[in-house]
Structures are given as structure tokens and as C-alpha cells.
Amino acid sequence: MGYVMNSFNSPKITDPYLLKAIDLHKSYKIFSQTLHVLSGANLELKTGEMLGIIGASGVGKSTLLHVLGGLDRPEKGEILFRGDNICSKGSAYLEKFRNQKVGFVFQFFNLLSDFSALENAMFPALIARVNKIEAREQAEQILIQVGLKDRLHHKPGELSGGESQRVAIARAFMNKPDLLLADEPTGNLDQKASDSLIELIQLLNHKFQQTVVIVTHSQRIASKMNRVMELVGGELISVEKRAII
């Protein structure tokens, strides 16, 4: 932990961690039984790092991502985002937090079928009340950056799976969020398209210094991240990359 001097020459502690998840618990009722998905999960994310999270199907990887991104609340525990506990905040705060601080990428793209790639990418900026002309210009720029210069006005049904996921990534990066959460982003893509997509996320991570968390069933994809953790028994454990390559 480092120190910087302010104008009054008094030290101010600077925390290198963007997000800290502390003792997270989350369960679901299934008929008469309780399924404990998170049972004391802990996580620390440094600004700009890329983390891969692996785990067996059904262990709760998506639930973890939803909790970290403010889409769902834990039953117990804290999520400190730049030191602020988002679990104690109301719905209005969380809506703004999700729109401006977090970008989401889902396995099934979640694009609006009646709108073009450009219009889909614009939505986060419009929700944040950015001027429509400015939002359009920003969306065009990031779609060009993700390699879709010639597909701006195509609707999702006219795009390949890889192209649709690139639109989803452009949308996630629109408001320049601090944190990108990707849930099985390569799950519907072949290996070539998967590798291309991960290279794109790495490029954008390097350019914008966003912190990235990718949940994946693919150990090969996870090994491309800076760090790998596994969700086991409701807890996160560190994994040596050389053990999964």
C-alpha cells in the first residue's frame, strides 16, 4: 500500500485494489432444500488486472458475477468498490453504479434484435443521458476499434456469433467502466473466434486499463488471464496457471 502527498503535505493512503469482496454468502431455495452457492467467498481485484474464474457447471460462477456487479445482493458480506460498500446502497445508487462503473458481457450477447449494432452499442450512453449525437459518435468509434467498421448498421440477425459478441463488448465499454464482467463470453464461439475475442478484450484492457473478470468453463481461456481462481464449495481459491495449461 502506497502513499501520495496532498497539497497540505499530509499522507493519504492509496488502495491499489479496485474491488474487495469479503465473506460473501448467497443461497437459493429449491423446493424444500437450500442450495448454498457462495459460502464465504473472498476476492481482491487490483486496478487493471485480468482475472479468470473457473469452476464446474452449476457451482455459482454466474451468481458470483451478478453479486460483484450489483445485479444481485449477497445475504451476507461486503463488496467494497474503491472502499465504498455497494451492498449497503439503495437501488438508485446501484442502477447508476451498473451503468457507469461496470460493463457486462453475457454468453448469449443480450442484443436487441430490432436495433442495429450501432444502436445497441449506444444504449449505455443514452441511459447515462449523454447527448444522442455524442453517443452515436462514441459508439461508432468503439465499434470501429473492435473491427466492425462495415457492420455498424447491421442488426444482430445479420451478424455472426463473433460479430455479435464484439457488439456486446463495444456496448460494455461504451461508458468506459472501471470493471468489465464477462460471463462465458466465448461459450457460443469456435476456438478461432474465441481466441480473437480474448485478444480483443486484452487489447481494450491494455488501452483503457479496465479491470476484467472473465468467468469461463475453459481452462485454456482462463490461462490467458493475469491470474486464475476457482470457485469450489462456495469459496474462491487461487490456481497456479501452470497447473491448468
Is 1 a residue whose pLDDT tops 50? no
The reported pLDDT for the residue numbered 14 is: 61
Cα dihedral 52, 197, 155, 171 sign: positive
Q: Directed axis angle between helix 161-173 and helix 117-127, to 10°? A: 20
Mean residue pLDDT of the chain comes to: 89
β-sheet bridge partners, residue 230: 54, 237
Q: Write the pLDDT tens digit of every residue in 82-116.
A: 999 999 999 999 999 999 999 999 888 889 999 99
Q: Write the pLDDT tens digit of every residue in 166-181.
A: 999 999 989 889 999 9
The reported pLDDT for the residue numbered 243 is: 61
The reported pLDDT for the residue numbered 114 is: 95
Cell numbers 467498421 correspond to 149
The reported pLDDT for the residue numbered 107 is: 81
Q: What one-letter code names the amino acid at 244? A: I
As a whole number of angstroms, the distance between CA 48 and CA 230 comes to 20
All 3 cell numbers of residue 132?
444522442
All 3 cell numbers of residue 52?
479468470
Is 78 a residue whose pLDDT tops 80? yes
DSSP 160: -
Q: What one-letter code names the amino acid at 72? A: D
* Half-sphere exposure for 179 (CA within 13 Å, toward CB): 23
Q: Write the pLDDT tens digit of every residue in 134-166.
A: 999 999 999 998 999 999 999 999 999 999 999
pTM of the model: 0.86
Cβ-contact 43, 220 below 8 angstroms: no
All 3 cell numbers of residue 153?
448498421
As a whole number of angstroms, the distance between CA 64 and CA 71 comes to 10
Domains of the chain: 47-73+89-243 (3.40.50.300)
Classify burial at 20, counting beta carbons within 10 Å of its beta carbon; exposed 0-12, middle 13-18, buried 19 or more: middle
* Half-sphere exposure for 170 (CA within 13 Å, toward CB): 32
The reported pLDDT for the residue numbered 187 is: 85
How much of the chain, in percent, has pLDDT values that exceed 90?
Answer: 68
Q: Write the pLDDT tens digit of every residue in 31-69.
A: 888 888 999 999 999 999 999 999 988 899 999 999 999
Q: What one-letter code names the amino acid at 53? A: I
Alpha helices in the chain (DSSP H): 61-68, 91-100, 117-127, 132-145, 161-173, 191-208, 219-222
